[in-house]
Amino acid sequence: MNFDAITIRDIARELHLSVSTVSKALRDSYEISEKTKKLVMEFAQKHNYRPNPMAQSLKKGHSKSIGIVVSSIDNQFFSQVINGMESEAYSQGYNVIITQSHESYDLEVQNVGHLIHRAIDGLLISIATETADVEHLRRLQQQGLPIVFFDRVSTEIETHKVIVDNLGGAYQATTHLLDSGYKNIAHITSSVTSSVTKQRLEGYVNALVERGIEVKERYIKYCLHGGLNLDELEQAVDELLASEPRPDAILTASDRITTSTMTLLHRKNIRIPQDVALVGFSNTVLADVLNPSLTSVHQPAFEIGRKATEMLLSIINSKRPVTEFENVILPTELFIRSSSASKHK
């Protein structure tokens, strides 16, 4: 069904011009006289002519839409990122098509396939925690699909990447816990394979090492599904609470893990921060009104999305193949609240 009944053909017929003249007039070609251009444009304007995007896409070979793959849209961090993407894409006349991997490798592959099938002009992707192999992406890139990674990037593929200072954020959070008098700091994080996990882990380790504190393997828990699977997380929390000496603080490495951990601690009647302090990466707007208010490492989510999209569009619009890639690292911000209140007083 077509809701813009009027086509370039209609205009041509009406104005006694050829289809190509109308097309060129509309595209402001030098081949067409000012008079005719004006005539055509005014007619088009008046009749609310819109070029059929599908015909244009077919002809031009691009679809003016970009694909997005995130783990879950129902997540404050990602919805804010997408917000930024939608904003930038929209302002440049592009649509975004969003898909969710739910942290599953299979779904990710399937989604990417679906997007390609939909003829996207570029891909913005934060790879699923489950994904270890990125061959499916590499192949696409080699075939010429512009890809920009954000958040969870792959070291194996060279392209633009937008991440935050994960190492710094985790380091800062851990140091803050140490400064507040916590000694036995545990770390709950996502899949080992993820770039984000590695960097945050490194920040955590660095902070401990710097203070001469032993890094205990049993204090580090990996959740393959990034907190989506509550059972998995609960097991991690239980194990931490059962270890000797029991950790007096936990650093959680992602939005979902942070909020879910908080929920679990509540259910178990573990007091925060008296029994165990909590600091986590999170973008929830509710950090202030949580019980207790949550010390969080906040990421500039909107800006991540905006920047990643800007870079993707720059590749898409580039005349010559892009070979120099940029690695943008945005700063995180530590918001200190009650969940990590100082032990000293």
Partner DNA sequence: AGCGTCAACTCAAACGTTTGCGTAAAAATT
Partner DNA sequence: AATTTTTACGCAAACGTTTGAGTTGACGCT
Binding stretches for DNA (CB under 7 A):
2, 7-9, 16-21, 23-24, 26-27, 31-36, 49-52, 55-56, 58-61
80 contributes a contact to a copy of itself by CB under 8 A: yes
Sheet containing 277-281: order of strands: 220-222, 185-189, 249-252, 277-281, 295-298, 333-335
33 is in the binding site of which of DNA, a copy of itself, none (Cβ under 5 to 8 A by kind)?
A: DNA
132 is in the binding site of which of DNA, a copy of itself, none (Cβ under 5 to 8 A by kind)?
A: none
Cα 283 to Cα 152: distance, rounded to the nearest angstrom: 16
Minimum distance from CB of 271 to a copy of itself (Å)? 13
Minimum distance from CB of 127 to DNA (Å)? 29
With beta carbons less than 8 A apart as the criterion, state whether 304 and 84 touch: yes
Minimum distance from CB of 183 to a copy of itself (Å)? 25
Residue 61 or 212: which CB sits closer to a copy of itself?
61
Q: Which residues contact 99 (CB under 8 A, 6 or more apart)?
A: 67, 68, 69, 70, 111, 114, 115
Residue 144 or 245: which CB sits closer to a copy of itself?
144
Other C-beta atoms closer than 10 Å to the C-beta of 260 total 24
Minimum distance from CB of 39 to DNA (Å)? 8
Residue entry with tokens 């949550």 = 294
292 is in the binding site of which of DNA, a copy of itself, none (Cβ under 5 to 8 A by kind)?
A: a copy of itself
Quote the tokens at residue 276. 């165990």
Residue 80 or 193: which CB sits closer to a copy of itself?
80
Choosing from 23, 72, 206, 229, the residue that interacts with a copy of itself (CB under 8 A) is 72
CA proximity to 11, closest of 24, 30, 28: 24
The interface with a copy of itself within residues 272-311 (CB under 8 A) comprises 284-286, 288-293
DSSP 151-172: SS--TTS-SEEEEE-HHHHHHH
